[in-house]
Each structure stands twice: as C-alpha cells, then as structure tokens.
Structure 1
C-alpha cells in the first residue's frame, strides 16, 4: 500500500502537496475490487479525510481540469464507501438488544452530534422553533442526523426520512423501531426525491444530505425541484463543502439556489466536513 505523509492540523498544507496526496489515494482506491469496509479501505479513507480537513486556501474552481476530473470521480467513490460503511454498522447495530441505545458504536457518531448542533443553532437563530414536520432527504441506512435532531433538539417534531434505497430504509427503520416513542415520530419513505411533488409542501423544514445529487447539474435540478414544491415560508438546510473538503462532497453555491432567500452559511474549521447553507422560500 502507498505510504502517506502526516501533517500538523495547525499548519496550512501546500496546495501542490495536498493535491498530489489526494490523487495518490484516488489512484489506489480506484483499483480496489470492493469499497466495503476493510483495513485497506478504512486506512485510505481515513487519510483522505485527514488531508481534506487540514487548513488550506485551495479553490476548487481554480484547479487544473485534470484535478477537477479526478475530484468528479472521487466523490462518488467516497459516497459509495460511506454508504457501505453505514450499511455494515447499521446492520450490526440493528441486531443488538437495544439498537437505538447503541448508535454511539458508529465511528463518526460524534461528528453527527456536532453537525446536528450547528444545524439546530442555525434554525433557532433564524426563528425556526417547534417545526411540526421535517423531511430529511438522503437519510441512508444510518439516519443519525434525523435521530439526533429528533431526540436532542426537536423533541415533538415528526420526521420523514427519504432515501432511494429500500435496503437502507429497511435497516434504518429496524433501529428506530427499538425506540417506541421515536418510532411514532419517524417514518421512512423509499422514493427518488424528484418524484416527490405535492408531498414536499407538507414540511416546515427540509434537510438535503450532502450526497444527494453528486454532480453539480443533478444537485441544481434537485434544488430547483424542492424549491418548486416546498411551501412558502418553509426552510431548507443544504449540506455542502468548501475548499479541500470539496474533494469529499459536492459544493452548493448561493447562485445555485433560485427562488430562495439565502440567510446563513456555516463553514466548519474543525474536524467536521460539511458546510451548512440555510435558505427560506419567500412568501409571495
């Protein structure tokens, strides 16, 4: 396996070195037969994440086309590996005696707690309290964001989790079913979000996961679809990425959001990866 240099979190990594290391990881991981969790996959992805959260002044749009093309290939690879990791842990946790109490076994649980804290703070700062109904689009097999928000921040809100993958929803619902109070407030919907129309008008708040729409063109279409059908005055929280974190997740720009008022943008500077952009659909 390739060897990688380690860096200090306080030091800004030179752009050329960052890109060469990321390209090296991309070359190695692209050749793997499987992205299922293994020592090799975990080591590569852990190193990639550590590289991408280092202080960096990199601008994705200014990069050479070769690097942009590599990034467009890397994001779906990371997304698939992330989905397989979540599926493995959610399947394991769903088979424990009390699944809802064992979510902390997931290795990135702490990151989800911090992200939920940021998102809840943004909602409250913008006057969104006591939302009756929330949609989380792209909840996956390990719906930690919804569960943490529902149990620690939005204790009376009803959550609908949308995912295109029936298997993901099946295993996620097993975890939620172990907490009867939570199960009453949380449902799972197997549907591609572009096929959900009038239903989107039910929600006070919609969350869009970072990996829903991995290519810019697809993301913009999804955002346009949501904006068309969500109700006036309701809000949308979109997970994005900035700088070198954008080698892991797609970027959403303010000008991608037509028919919205952009209100708050949060970019992490710690070991969290996702930026959060808060929009409101204006009242006519």
Structure 2
C-alpha cells in the first residue's frame, strides 16, 4: 500500500485503497509538531498531492461520516501548510535580488503557470480577453496567479488583491514592489471580503481562490455575497475540486451557484489540482 503513489496507474485507483492511504497520511500530519516547511512536512504533503491526482472514480459526496470529518480536517491542514510554505518562500525571496525573476523556484510554480494558462484560455473562450479591472479574493503572501496573469496574459489589466491577513499582504506587496511596471497595476487590500460591498461593482472579472471559504456553508455565503454586489454581466471564476482532489480543496457544485449563469466547468486530469468553474451574473 505504501508504494501506491509510485505506481503508474492507467486504471482508476480503488476508492477503499485511496481512502485508507489518505487517512494514513492524515494521521501522520496530525502528529506533526508544526506545519512549517520541513523535510517531513514536505514529504507528507507531496505524497498526499501525488495520491490525490491519480486517476480515481471516487465520489466524495458518498463518503461515510468519519471520512467526511477527516476530509474537512485535512483541507484545513492543507490550507495552513500551504499558507506557511508561501509565507516562508515569500519572506525568503524579498531578501534576494528581484524576487519576480525567481518565483519559478517555488515548488508548485509549474502548477500555477498551467492553471493560469488554463484559466485564461477559459476566460478568453467566454469573451474575457483583456479585462480592465480584476479582483483576486484570497491572494495570500505569494500572489502567483495575479502575477502570472498580469505578466503573461492580461498585460494591461489592473489587479486588486484581497486578503484578510495583513502580514500576507505586506510580503506580497514587497515582492511586487521590485517590478515598477507591475506595481503600477497591482494593489493589495487587507479586507474580509464579506465586508466589501459597492467596490465589487468595479470589476469585470473576480477570481475566488480555492481556500476562501473552507467549508460548504462559508463558501456558499461568500459566493452569494459576491453575486449580490458584483456588477451585472460580471464574470466570477471559482476554483473547485473533483474526485480525490477534493481531499485537498473544497468542492463547489452547480447548486452552490444559484443566481449565476454557468459558462464553463473544467476538471483537470493532469497534475493541476483545481477545477475551474466560470459563471456570469445575468
């Protein structure tokens, strides 16, 4: 069982096997003294990510209660570990010359490049090519999506990054400040998005990060709030997860998007983890 993630599966991994292995990793993560990046922490989360991106036909909604509770706990642990990894990397990178040029040293940088490229393709196919103003909710200490989008895809767009954590914004601001052109187009705001109202009308397109709203109720509440205050005809891009990837990130179903017109739902089958759901406010 231990070598499950090393095997090269063409056929889906049996659900019981996958769940057993995920529960085993969860138990090991729970025993850690800290979730800060370390050899042990990195190894456990790498195994978990590799495991959850294997082909599998697991139905998350059909899991027994104890597995559902473990999954909620795991998503929280993943979120905290991801935040600490980003913070450590960002804090380190602002001490070196031109951090913007060294972002590719971040362990999951390649995933972000693929995800941003995919999201831009989906946006373009739905008529969003060079939006004037974009909001990114939950940008964190390492706002890779905004940076990659701004440099490679939306080259004239203005980005407002919202995060509830002032420390995260301070570090992100310092990274962007090392690139004059980028700094002109990128702002960081420390706000709880549930308290942002009229300002949401300014954006042609709003991104909702996967870890904003860690459980179903919170996520639905946030999506409803954004829908209420965003402009008519505005686009919302929500990151979700499907199958075993839902052990890493919360799932957004079509029923959670009431009042929106669903334009596109994309579930990756490569190493990209997040599903992409694109909706429009009528």
Q: TM-score range by the shorter chain?
A: over 0.9
Structure-2 residue corresponding to 1:136: 136
Structure-2 residue corresponding to 1:15: 15
**What's the CA shift for 1:43?**
0.6
Paired with 1:82 and 1:4, the residues of 2 have a C-alpha distance of 24
**What's the CA shift for 1:41?**
0.5
Structure-2 residue corresponding to 1:99: 99
Structure-1 residue corresponding to 2:217: 217
Paired with 1:57 and 1:207, the residues of 2 have a C-alpha distance of 28
Paired with 1:26 and 1:267, the residues of 2 have a C-alpha distance of 24
Structure-1 residue corresponding to 2:116: 116
Paired with 2:233 and 2:18, the residues of 1 have a C-alpha distance of 42
Aligned residue for 1:114, secondary structure, equals helix
- The alignment's TM-score, normalised by the length of structure 1, stands at 0.97
**What's the CA shift for 1:10?**
2.6
Aligned residue for 1:160, secondary structure, equals strand
Structure-1 residue corresponding to 2:78: 78
Paired with 2:129 and 2:147, the residues of 1 have a C-alpha distance of 17
Residue 164 of structure 1 pairs with residue 164 of structure 2: yes
**What's the CA shift for 1:3?**
5.1
Structure-1 residue corresponding to 2:63: 63
Paired with 1:208 and 1:9, the residues of 2 have a C-alpha distance of 32
Aligned residue for 1:184, secondary structure, equals helix
**What's the CA shift for 1:199?**
0.6
Aligned residue for 1:102, secondary structure, equals helix
**Which consecutive residues of structure 2, in runs of 5 or more, have no partner in the other structure?**
none
CA contact (8 A) 1:11 1:54 kept: no
Aligned residue for 2:259, secondary structure, equals coil
1:222-266, CA deviations, whole angstroms, 9 ceiling, x for partnerless residues? 000000000001100000000000000000001101211001001
Structure-1 residue corresponding to 2:126: 126
Structure-2 residue corresponding to 1:41: 41
Paired with 1:7 and 1:163, the residues of 2 have a C-alpha distance of 39
Paired with 1:81 and 1:173, the residues of 2 have a C-alpha distance of 21
Moved more, 11-20 or 178-187: 11-20
Structure-2 residue corresponding to 1:53: 53
Aligned residue for 1:268, secondary structure, equals coil
1:180-200, CA deviations, whole angstroms, 9 ceiling, x for partnerless residues? 000000000001110101010
**Which consecutive residues of structure 1, in runs of 5 or more, have no partner in the other structure?**
none
Paired with 1:9 and 1:36, the residues of 2 have a C-alpha distance of 31
- Which stretches of structure 1, 4 residues or more, deviate above 6 A after TM superposition? none
